[in-house]
Amino acid sequence: MDNPDNSSETTHFGYRQVPVAEKAAHVAAVFRSVAQKYDIMNDLMSLGLHRLWKQQAINLAGARPGMRVLDLAGGTGDLARLLAKKVGNSGLVVLSDINEAMLVQGRDRTIDAGHVGTVSYALLDAQHLPFPDNTFDRITIGFGLRNVTDKAQALRAIYRALSPGGVAMVLEFSHPYVTPLKPLYNLYSFQVLPLMGRLVANDAASYRYLAESIRMHPDQETLKAMMKDAGFEDCDYTNLSGGIVAVHRGHKY
């Protein structure tokens, strides 16, 4: 169980059980290790599909000119740059991550892409958002929720920081619903990905954790229920690539 208030509790780090207080450090070590090769590996391991998934997620988030958007676990900034185009010069995107190495990569790539005035940067934990209530019109988190120690707490924090009328969007690996796809997906996840990680990023263990963390993440219906429990209304999800990835949305009224 995820319960950071009790030091005797454990939680999952991939398939391993670790003390709740130590999970964030384990996750941080993974992303420090892969930060330099993160974008290359995303292209290789998804065969470029991650770019289509992110574009579809941004379309579903519905950001518009002038909006204030928080992108959590933003990493190298793919979503933030797409969002910056949506909100325009009159809007604001806060690109955030708990991991400094990833945030530096995101900041550098975003500045290089020409987004100077629209995007700002914040080193923060999705479980503890340092913003007043009702601050953002949209809050997004792409491929990051599964790494959060207490997902329910993070969803409550997102709900609090979202303005009435706002939408939260969660893009995450999920559970394939196409039965013939499952054995191939498992073979790819547990054999090909670690090998690719070793050859390209010199780090098989981090990509083995990636595969394990996806399997430990709640399925589509469970995450939908968690969002409802956090206060969101009209929750829905859209499966992409046979359910390998899903886009969840929740509204605050």
**What's the whole-number mean pLDDT along residues 69-88?**
97
**What's the whole-number mean pLDDT along residues 99-109?**
95
Query: Would you say residue 30 lies in a domain?
Result: no
Res 2: pLDDT: 53
Taking a C-beta distance cutoff of 8 angstroms, is the pair 75, 100 a contact? no
Share of residues in the chain with pLDDT > 70 (%)? 97
| Res. 7: pLDDT tops 60 | no
Query: Would you say residue 25 lies in a domain?
Result: no
Query: Would you say residue 183 lies in a domain?
Result: no
Res 121: pLDDT: 98
CATH of the domain at 229: 3.40.50.150
Categorize the per-residue pLDDT at 1 as very low, low, confident or very high, splitting at 50, 70 and 90.
very low
Query: Would you say residue 75 lies in a domain?
Result: yes
Res 156: pLDDT: 98
pLDDT digits (tens, 9 = 90+) for 139-174: 999 999 999 999 999 999 999 999 999 999 999 999
Pairing relation of β-strands 119-123 and 233-240?
unpaired
Res 34: pLDDT: 84
Q: Which residues span the domain enclosing 87?
A: 35-177+210-251
Enter the pTM of the model: 0.91
Query: Would you say residue 196 lies in a domain?
Result: no
pLDDT digits (tens, 9 = 90+) for 9-51: 999 988 999 999 999 888 888 888 888 878 888 888 898 999 9
Cα dist from 100 to 7, 81, 113, 143, whole Å: 25, 18, 20, 17
Query: Would you say residue 187 lies in a domain?
Result: no
Query: Would you say residue 143 lies in a domain?
Result: yes
Res 63: pLDDT: 98
For the chain, what is the domain count?
A: 1
Query: Would you say residue 96 lies in a domain?
Result: yes
Res 8: pLDDT: 64
**pLDDT, greater one: 196 or 222:** 222
Taking a C-beta distance cutoff of 8 angstroms, is the pair 4, 21 a contact? yes
Q: State which H helix or E strand residue 119 sits in.
A: strand 119-123
